Amino acid sequence: MKTAYLALVLNAHMPFVRRPEYPRFLEERWFFEAISETYLPLLRAFRSLESDAVPFHLTLSVSPTLAAMLSDKTLGERYMVYLDAQLRLAAAEEDRLRGDSAFEPLAGMYRALYSSDKEDFEGLYGRDILSALDFYYKKGRVELMTSSATHAFLPIFRDCREAVTSQVETAIIAHRKAFGKHPAGFWLPQLGWYPGVAEVLRSYNVQYTVVTTRGAMLGEPTPRCGSFAPVECPSGLVAFIRDAGATKAVWSESTGYPADPVYRDFYRDIGFDLPAEYLKAHLEDPGERIFTGFKYWSVTGRTQEKRPYDPAAAQARAARHAAHFLTERRASAAAAAALMDRPPLMVCPFDAELFGHWWFEGPAFLEALFRQAASAGEPGLTTLGDYLRDFPESQKSVPEFSSWGDGGFAEVWLDGSNDWIYRHVAKAVERMSELAERFPDESGLRERILDQAAREVLLAMCSDWALLMRAGKSASFARRQIEEPIANFGRIYDMLCSNTVSTEWLTRLEKRDNLFPSINYRMFRRKR
Amino acid sequence: MRTDKLDALSLEELYALADKTGLDLPPGLERPFVVEEILEVLEEDSEDRWEAQGEALHIDEKKYSGLRIGDFDEGPGRGDSLASRYNETMIRAIARDPSWAFAYWDVADADIELLRGDDGAAGLFLRIAEIGPPGERNDSQREYFDIPIADNDLQWYINLPRSGVRFRIDLCARRSGHGGKFRVLARSNEVESPRQSLAASAKSLDPGSYELLALSGAEDIPLDDPAEGNPLRILPTGSASPGNRAD
């Protein structure tokens, strides 16, 4: 037995941004960038650890919308087109920077990155990243969790039971379809917890989730071990508690590791630095200035006078930061262990896309952390499921309503910029339940219509759009992502009420919003 | 919208609101000056909240680099605009944080006609009633306060007097000439405002547990709730809601 345990938990998520009706759709780049900069680099780190026989353990939530997009053939083809465009841009950049000792190697670095991505995605994984993750899942290295079907922030729907259960049920069915196993863990989007969600999750045989430090500490009764041990709700669901100190070291935009001057700067991108004419000749979609992914400068400091990026120095710094992170955790665990009757557990949940997309050196940090932890032996790295098997008993407590959003509750997803959403979504859920009650045994075309109606209701519950509205960025796009599924649902509702169906329109909609092929609209029937 | 709300209040109510927002206004000020002072404080409050936003949100946004705002071709669902209401008499409440809840409601046209005609209604109001702590079965009304609303209001943020309690909101119509009687048009779901201090059981924790709480980063969570807030501080939705920022 180790004297302390560390559980890294990553939440991999992208909202559903598939738009096959357009030749190119800019928001699909979010997904492609995440594949290129986060998911494939993480898999390369796993491979490297495996080949060196370094044991590593990680808990990874793959959101159902991300899983749907990762298994989509159209998006797979489009990702290949994206990679080819990135490789062409890399070649152009190498030509442009020929002879520049500081920058030509950086253009070469991007050529190598996108070449590796192409080779891995196409050659190694056969365009199937989910299977690659499943390999480590079955091997016991990575424990996969699921999350709400469309990343709904559940506390806002706590009085709409069918809204919550449909999110949970759809997610679990999608996870089983993708990975062939029932998920033991459930990632609550934005760590959005409320008393009562435990019973819902347990009713679907979910064993554990993660909550914020504050939510757990405000729980009843107060956890005796602070965040160093999970708590168990009366329903039997175990709530692991985020380690606030550990997450801040990585998460903080201003004082966390990613702010180090030697790391690659996220903002300085040739998409904004180079002349429009040059970009127009090389970008796939030259309509407007965008992040291209080609960034040549280091963070340097709070100045526009940036230093050229030095990959070797950045990699070395990532290893040093991993060592610092582990030293801090050992110190924290030692202080806690003296006060506990079991080894302290430190749970560090992060958004996966932090590693690689924003913090370019993030995957290197993680790999170094796994290597150093394995070498030192302490703290022991564990998954949440493995920890539960070793320590099945936990203090009984019910955490308080909480989230990891600003303010700690629902402020981000419920303010003047986005509160209009909930009237419409709640009404759609209510009407969907009404339809499921009225048509409990449909088949054929009517069943197709009802299933599509259920998909549209789920899509409208996505919390990412509320976040973007609150941020004031791309707010009209975000607004449209809510209005569209609500309007689509409304049209289906009217069709069913008037008994007229536009099959052409329905087929087009099914082809576009094609996630959750196994959806069953009857999950919206009122729970009795 | 916000100015409209303030304009609907009497000078006395405006002074009371100013007092609750921390303003110390000299007596006898002209109404426009009182309104202006209140607006300024509310605006500062909104800006402070925006400034105080943590970094997690900003990092989350980075996931969505390459954002654009553009027009789209007509496709499934595109170009449809949503109705602002569903013409039904209802009210729903959502807890936002220990201090604020969001409520939205509607009154069916037919009910409005009835109110205007037979009932002699003298205005709508919300009754926010505390119905006990979470988990308690007794849901009899304990304390309440009322907020007058205009006929065309459809939603408000409501400042809650206490955290860690259950409450519900009734959408009511006052009846003129009936001795202050009113009619409940709709009753909201039950809502719990989250605790913002440690549970009472924390007081019996041993010193070692307190140390573990501190090591967990919970040392800033108070053992007791702060003094009760003002039950009458209300903010209309839209421009004045906390944390709001124009697109």
pLDDT in tens, A294-311: 999 999 987 778 999 999
How far CA A182 is from CA of A46, A185, A204, A312, A455, in Å, comes to 23, 9, 10, 42, 22
Which one has a higher pLDDT value, A378 or A204?
Answer: A204
Q: How far is the alpha carbon of B27 from chain A, nearest alpha carbon, in Å?
A: 33
Residues in chain B: 247
Contact between A416 and B77 using a beta-carbon 8 Å cutoff: no
Contact between B242 and A411 using a beta-carbon 8 Å cutoff: yes
Contact between A354 and B59 using a beta-carbon 8 Å cutoff: yes
> Of A253, A411, A424, which has the smallest distance from its Cβ to B58's Cβ?
A253
Q: How far is the alpha carbon of A52 from chain B, nearest alpha carbon, in Å?
A: 31
How far CA B4 is from CA of B10, B146, B150, in Å, comes to 12, 19, 10
> What single-letter DSSP state applies at residue A488?
H
Q: Which one of A24, A400, A463 would you mutate to disrupt binding with B, by most B Cβ within 10 Å of its Cβ?
A: A400
Q: Three-state SS string across A268-329, please?
A: CCHHHHCCHHHHHHHCCCCCCCCCCCCCCEECCCCCCCCCECCHHHHHHHHHHHHHHHHHHH
A20 touches chain B (CB under 8 A): no
Give dist(CA A354, CA A12) in Å, integer: 10
pLDDT tens digits for range A426-471: 999 999 999 999 999 999 999 999 999 999 999 999 999 999 998 8
Residues A89, A291: contact at Cβ < 8 Å?
A: no
B47 Cβ neighbours under 8 A, 6+ residues apart? none
How far CA A134 is from CA of A80, A289, A378, B39, B56, in Å, comes to 22, 37, 27, 56, 29
Contact between B70 and A477 using a beta-carbon 8 Å cutoff: yes
A309 Cβ neighbours under 8 A, 6+ residues apart? A106, A264, A265, A295, A296, A297, A298
> Of A217, A477, A483, which has the smallest distance from its Cβ to B82's Cβ?
A483
- The pTM for the full model equals 0.87
C-alpha angle with apex A152: A221 to A23, nearest 5 degrees? 155
Q: Which ipTM did the prediction report? A: 0.93
Which one has a higher pLDDT value, A375 or A252?
Answer: A375
A342 touches chain B (CB under 8 A): no
How far CA A493 is from CA of A113, A428, A438, A451, B93, in Å, comes to 48, 9, 12, 12, 25
Residues B195, A194: contact at Cβ < 8 Å?
A: no
pLDDT score for B8 = 67
Pair of tokens at residue B186: 């709709």
Residues A498, A440: contact at Cβ < 8 Å?
A: no
pLDDT score for B10 = 77
> Of A332, A414, A471, which has the smallest distance from its Cβ to B94's Cβ?
A414
pLDDT tens digits for range A382-394: 999 999 999 999 9
A151-160, A334-343, B79-88, B231-240, range with the lowest pLDDT: B231-240
Give dist(CA A398, CA A236) in Å, integer: 11
Contact between B62 and A357 using a beta-carbon 8 Å cutoff: yes
Give dist(CA B237, CA B103) in Å, integer: 10
Question: For residue A218, which residues of chain B lie inside 8 Å, CB to CB?
Answer: 194-199, 221
Q: Is residue A246 over pLDDT 90?
A: no
> Of A244, A291, A483, which has the smallest distance from its Cβ to B217's Cβ?
A244
Binned at pLDDT 50, 70 and 90, residue B222 comes out as low
Rg, Å, chain A Cα set: 23
pLDDT tens digits for range A130-154: 999 999 999 999 999 999 999 999 9
Contact between A214 and B82 using a beta-carbon 8 Å cutoff: no
**Interval A464-489 mean pLDDT:** 90
A316 Cβ neighbours under 8 A, 6+ residues apart? none
- Residue B156: strand pairing partners: B103, B236
Q: Is residue A483 over pLDDT 70?
A: yes
pLDDT score for B234 = 34
**Interval B145-163 mean pLDDT:** 91
Of chain A residues 82-121, which have a CB less than 8 A from chain B? none
Q: How far is the alpha carbon of A488 from chain B, nearest alpha carbon, in Å?
A: 5
Q: How far is the alpha carbon of B180 from chain A, nearest alpha carbon, in Å?
A: 31
Which one has a higher pLDDT value, A477 or A118?
Answer: A118
Which one has a higher pLDDT value, A106 or B174?
Answer: A106
The DSSP line for A175-206 is: HHHHHSS--SBEEPGGG-B-TTHHHHHHHTT-
A8-12, A164-168, A404-408, B241-245, range with the lowest pLDDT: B241-245
Q: How far is the alpha carbon of A11 from chain B, nearest alpha carbon, in Å?
A: 12
